[in-house]
Structures are given as C-alpha cells and as structure tokens.
Amino acid sequence: MELNLTGRDRHGTPDELATLSAVLIDGEEIFVDQGAIHGKSRVERGIDFRGASSADQVPDGQPVSIVWVTLKTYEQGRGFSGITAAQIVINKELKVGYKPMAPLVNQMDRAMKGKVDLSNLSGEQKGKLAHFLENLRADLWANTPDEVKAQLV
C-alpha cells in the first residue's frame, strides 16, 4: 500500500491537506486508513460514539491510536514531517466507543504544522510505527530528517 501523499488530487485539495494521511494502530495491527480524516475509518464505522463522555464509560474498551502523518519537501526530497497521535476507545462487540474530538483535531492540526508528538504512544508502538513507515515508503523514510526519526524510537 502506498501513502497517497504525492500532491493535489483531482478534487483540488488545499495544499495543507494534500499531504495528510492517517495511520491506525489497533492492537497488533497497523495500517493506513484515509477514512479516519473524516471520522470514517474501518474501525470507526458502525460504532456509536454518542453515549460515552469519557473512555471509562466504554465497557472493556480497547484503545485505537490514530496517527496523523504529513510530508514535506526537503532539500533531498519529500519525507515525513509532522507525526502526531491521538486515541479513541472502542468496544467492537458492543459497537460503542469514545472519541475525544478536541485532541483528534488538535493533533491533526499539529501534524499539518510539522510537529511531532507521540507522547501517548508506548515505546513499542513508536517502534512499530517507525518500522511501518520505513517499509511502506522507503523513499520518504530516507528523506526524513534524523530529528524526526529520533522521536519514533
């Protein structure tokens, strides 16, 4: 799978959104899901987020991390720039969940501004994310500044 981050799409996406992708970490699984940008990722579909006002109100809820990833053109070429994470909590069996909109939107905005904030990911999750991004697009990884890569370990 290739990140669809190579420029404007046929709908004329504003430049600041043309480089945004969502990578989800759901337990052991990690994958790109552009639907998350509009709150319609595969893990969100069919889940009722209206009833819970906190993660504690989701019985046996499992965290799913949404990692916003942006690109930037550096001297050596396009590479990863902004990488931020936020979490939602879901009980797939009961089809209920908690989605804190402010952190999701704020982290998306920070990623689009080239910030890196993975403070709510575990060390293991950061390592998985680094491995995933490197293997997904080795060209982008090679052009990513070392200071960005260092925050993924």
59-91 pLDDT, tens digit per residue, is 999 999 999 999 999 999 999 999 999 999 999
Q: Which residues contact 132 (CB under 8 A, 6 or more apart)?
A: 23, 30
Question: pTM, whole model, 2 decimals?
Answer: 0.88
Q: What is the pLDDT of residue 5?
A: 53
Provide the pLDDT for residue 19: 80
| Per-residue model confidence (pLDDT) at position 153 | 79
pLDDT value at residue 85: 98
Q: Would you list the domain boundaries of the chain?
A: 15-41+66-87+100-142
Q: What is the pLDDT of residues 20-53, one digit of tens each?
A: 999 999 999 999 999 999 999 999 999 999 999 9
